[in-house]
Amino acid sequence: MNLLSKVGARLSARRKSPKNPMSYETWRSAALVAVLAWAGVGADSLSSANYGPEEAYKALHLSGHEPLVLWLALITALTVVVISLAYVQVIALFPSGGGGYQAATRLVHPLAGLVSGSALVVDYALTIAISVAAASDALLSLAPPDWLQYKPFALAGGLALLLTLNLRGIRESISVLAPIFFGFLITHVVLIGFGIAAKGDELVSAVVEAERQAIEVTTETGLWSLIAIIAGAYAAGAGTYTGIEALSNNAHALKPPRAKTGARAMALIALSLAVIAGGIMLLYTVWLPEIEPGKTLNAIVFESTLEQLFPDQELARQIVLTVAMTFAAALLLVAASSGFLGGPAVLASMAYDKWAPHSFAHLSSKLVAQNGVLAMGVAAGILLTVTGGLVHSLVVLYSINVFLTFSLSLTGLVRHGIAHRGETKGWRIRLFIACLALCVAVSILITLFVAKFSQGAWAALLVAGMLAACGYWVRDHYRRFDNAMDRTFEDLLVRDPAAAVELPKNARMKRPVGIVTGPHGGAGLHALMHAQRLFRGGFDSVVIISAGEVDAECYGGHEALERLKQQVGERCAKIVAWSRDHGMPARVYTGFSTDAVETLEQLCLKARADHPNVVFVATRPMTRPHGWASTLLHGGTALSLQRRLHAHDAPLIVLPMRVDLGPDQFFRRGPSPAIAETTSQKGRDHGSIETHEGSG
């Protein structure tokens, strides 16, 4: 959940929320119109204009072909349009959000989704690092050159500030975002416009010079040499496009119909980014600035523009430049905040699909949320330390991972277009755009990897690959655990009709035991049997508490929810039947929410209100062979629920449950872990609680 989601939640809090949090009206009241989405997510994409165009120009400067930046300005604007049009299709296919992760998972392969999700997690850490570094550069551009030695302190201070605010639970609102976003947009559009107008007489000559140099390079060294020069600079400026996908990741917060609202918002984002990034490159074309240590190129050209416009008003020039650079730094820090929120959100979606430890899905838990923020902050700090806070180095790592995600999601889009060709009007143009965007993404990825291999491109892919390998191991572990739990449940359910106890029609529940069960019925039944042994048959009835968990990022629609309800109902019905056979009436409490712990807490408190004498029991799986994996991957739900219920003076006993997984199969040759079709299309911040009597 990034800034867009939080803005939507803030707006919805001002209205009356329907009582049913799963209802369509809840989504509609929490939604955003296109303009608010533009301001909420636009910071992510627009902030890249502070470093993307500059890196492209520096690449041309190193080769001595600065006038060719004119062609880059045109290509950059077109690239923004093409990628944006492709991601409009992604939003149309996944209006409930998920973006690149969902597209790669559902349209390519779940393993592609694993790689895409891993790259996204790295992306968000790099978002924090590069935004803090670029914000420091923007502010230090206002200071004397010798202040550059204090940049490490500026980096540490900026990261510490963001980390503190996010650990305290910062809540951005549209009243904060809009002034920063539109302040940056207005100041930069005005300065770009004045800068080009001030050199209006030289614009034609700049075009002629760009054409002359292109012809000269082609004549002397060949067309491929010209293509190589432009392609290298084009890939170096790939950071310009790194925030375009943000809207597709958070489409669930848009106002229905989300596809149309997303298309309008994407059009505004693409227009603003194309104007700012393309305009800055056009400004470089007419001014051809010289690189100065301690100053960003934007600050240099803006300062030159102001000197020509106000030659005798130094104070006015300094004020305007300070305002522009302050807005730039503020926008970059806002973009950095999205990294603290987006990284844990991606991990939550991956945890729901069992690519990450299940505890990451509990974002409503303060401890989990803070640990996620702290992990992203530490990762960003390591990146800043290793790279020295150099934007030039960070943008390589950033662009590699972003375009890896682009390539995977756009591959899925192309596959979908081919598979469904001819089914709707305009399919040819949509498929053409998807293919063109895929070619652009793959070409940039390959060019960056080859050209920047020695500058850390290999490290970017290595880190993402290692994270993906860890995710695959986690999925394999959970697969073996699920199989073991299913076998245990079936073994425990063995019934002897001859030994069944006949219950009175209106059997009372005087001394109930409350069993907490999640997706594995075996855990609940084991808790019931263990509790009866522990208390020597002291319980005469059963209260079954079960939660169906909904993914922490998106909402998959009515059919997915009904399917989930059916699974939970069948699981509870089997436990009810077992309880009845053993002479214990049962009552079932079920709930569906984005956070299992929070839902289970509500259900337990409701059950306790109905049955004051209830004693709750839950299990903590202890896998064999036991090790650090068992502690990391299991037991978090039971312990978190215990802490919450103890705060309400409600008893919950956590009992151990040994689960034999056998030897680790991760490195063993054989079929891949069973990968079920993902159901990660379920919404966040929505839940419902249902109660009904069990049979008996």
pLDDT digits (tens, 9 = 90+) for 294-330: 899 999 999 999 998 888 888 999 999 999 999 999 9
pLDDT of res. 14: 41
Closest by CA position to 102, among listed 269, 279, 350: 350
629 vs 450, residue with greater confidence: 450
Tokens of 95: 């209006």
Q: How does residue 224 score in pLDDT terms, banded at 50, 70 and 90?
A: very high
Q: Is the pLDDT score of 62 beyond 80?
A: yes
Q: Which residues does residue 656 pair with via DSSP β-bridges, in sequence order?
A: 620
Residue 674: band (very low, low, confident or very high) from pLDDT cuts 50, 70, 90: very low
Say whether 491 sits in a helix, a strand or coil: helix
Nearest CA to 584 out of 485, 494, 668, 503 is that of: 503
Rounded Cα distance between 696 and 693, Å, is: 8
| Segment holding 616, helix H or strand E | strand 615-624
Bond into 257 cis (ω within 30)? yes
Strand order in the sheet with 652-660: 652-660, 615-624, 512-517, 541-549, 586-593, 687-693
The model's confidence at residue 174, banded by pLDDT at 50, 70 and 90, is: low
Q: What tokens does 456 get?
A: 């850390």
Cis amide leading into 621 (omega within 30) = no
CA dihedral 37, 43, 49, 52 (to 10 degrees): -100
CB 10 within 8 A of CB 235: no
Give me the percent of the chain exceeding a pLDDT of 70.
83
pLDDT tens for 601-640 read 999 999 999 999 899 999 888 877 666 666 778 767 888 8
pLDDT, mean of residues 183-193: 94
Give me the half-sphere count of Cα atoms (radius 13 Å) on the Cβ side of residue 44: 29
| Predicted pLDDT of residue 564 | 77
Answer whether residue 408 shows pLDDT above 50. Answer: yes
Burial class (CB in 10 A: 0-12, 13-18, 19+), 654: middle
Q: Is residue 94's pLDDT more than 90?
A: no
Mean pLDDT to the nearest integer, 186-192: 95
Q: d(Cα 135, Cα 241) in Å, to the nearest integer?
A: 18
- Per-residue pLDDT at 41: 76
DSSP string, 414-449: HHHHHHTTTSSTTHHHHHHHHHHHHHHHHHHHHHHH
Residue 655 in this model has a pLDDT that exceeds 60: yes
Smallest Cα–Cα separation from 657: which of 563, 524, 553? 524
Mean pLDDT of the residues in the chain: 82
pLDDT value of position 424: 85
Residue with token string 């419902």: 688
Residue range 520-536: mean pLDDT, rounded: 85
- Which CATH architecture fits 473-693? 3-Layer(aba) Sandwich (3.40)
- The pLDDT-based confidence of 464 (bands split at 50, 70, 90) is very high
Q: Is the pLDDT of residue 669 over 60?
A: no
Tokens 């930069």 sit at which residue? 188
When mean pLDDT is compared over 66-80, 240-254, 451-465, 560-574, the highest value belongs to: 66-80
> Between the CA of residue 282 and those of 79, 101, 154, 232, 299, what are the distances in Å?
16, 35, 31, 18, 15
Residue ranges, comma separated, of all CATH 3.40.50.620 domains in the chain are 473-693
Supply the DSSP string of 178-245, one letter for each residue: HHHHHHHHHHHHHHHHHHHHHTHHHHHHHHHHHHHHHHHHHHHH-HHHHHHHHHHHHHHTGGGGTTTT
* Angle (nearest 5°) at CA 541 between 538 and 545: 115
- CA 79, CA 109: separation in Å to the nearest integer? 27
pLDDT band per the 50, 70, 90 thresholds, residue 641: confident
Smallest Cα–Cα separation from 37: which of 103, 81, 95?
Answer: 95
What confidence score (pLDDT) does residue 115 get? 95
Phi, psi of 664, rounded to the nearest 5 degrees? -65, 125
Q: Please tell me which residue, 42 or 106, carries the higher pLDDT value.
A: 106
pTM for this prediction: 0.81
Q: Any idea of the CA torsion for 472, 473, 479, 485, to the nearest 10 degrees?
A: -150
Q: What is the pLDDT of residues 24-40, one digit of tens each?
A: 444 443 344 667 777 77
- Looking from the CA of 84 toward its CB, the CA atoms found within 13 Å total 25
Question: Residue 601 is encoded by which pair of tokens?
Answer: 């807490």
Q: Which of 42-46, 57-61, 591-595 has the lowest mean pLDDT?
A: 591-595
- pLDDT tens per residue across span 540-554: 889 999 887 764 344
687-693 and 586-593 as β-strands: parallel, antiparallel, unpaired? antiparallel
- Whole-number Å distance between alpha carbons of 197 and 279: 12
Say if residues 22 and 688 touch (Cβ distance below 8 Å). yes
Residue 277 has pLDDT above 90, yes or no: yes
Q: What pLDDT score does 558 carry?
A: 58
In this structure, what token pair is assigned to residue 347? 């991990």
What pLDDT score was predicted for residue 188? 95
pLDDT above 50 for 677: no
**H or E element, residue 621:** strand 615-624
pLDDT confidence band for 350 (50 / 70 / 90): confident
Average pLDDT of the residues in 576-604:
85
Residue with tokens 């995600």: 405
Which pLDDT band, with edges at 50, 70 and 90, does 678 fall under?
A: very low
Q: What is the pLDDT of residue 34?
A: 67
Query: What does the buried/exposed string (b/e) look like for 511-549 if buried means 16 or more CB atoms within 10 Å of the residue's CB?
Result: ebbbbbbbbbbbbbbbbbebbbeeeeeebebbbbbbbbb
Which residues, at least 6 apart from 292, have a Cβ–Cβ distance to it below 8 Å? 145, 300
3-state secondary structure of 654: strand
CB neighbour class for 364 (10 Å; exposed up to 12, middle 13-18, buried from 19)? middle
Backbone angles phi, psi at 189, to 5 degrees: -65, -45
Cβ atoms of residues 46 and 180 within 8 Å: no
Task: Give CA separation, 428 vs 108, 414, 569, in Å.
Answer: 20, 11, 45
Q: What is the pLDDT of residue 351?
A: 84
When pLDDT is cut at 50, 70 and 90, the band that residue 579 belongs to is confident
**Residues of each domain in the chain carrying CATH 1.20.1740.10:** 3-455
pLDDT of residue 680: 38
Q: Which is higher by pLDDT, 509 or 83?
A: 83
| 504: phi then psi, degrees, rounded to nearest 5 | -60, 155
Question: Quick one: tokens of 346?
Answer: 């991606």
Other beta carbons less than 10 A from residue 302's beta carbon: 28
Per-residue pLDDT for 84 more than 50? Answer: yes
pLDDT of the residue at 500: 60
DSSP assignment letter at 498 = G
What pLDDT sits at residue 457?
A: 86
Of 98-107, 367-376, 390-399, where does the model show the most confidence? 390-399
Question: Residue 50: what pLDDT?
Answer: 94
CA–CA gap between residue 87 and residue 248 (Å, rounded): 7
Task: Kindly report the CATH class assigned to 3-455.
Answer: mainly alpha
Lowest mean pLDDT among 284-288, 355-359, 488-492, 496-500: 496-500
Q: Which of 41, 79, 94, 46 lies closest to 433, judged by CA?
A: 79
Q: What is the per-residue pLDDT for 676?
A: 38
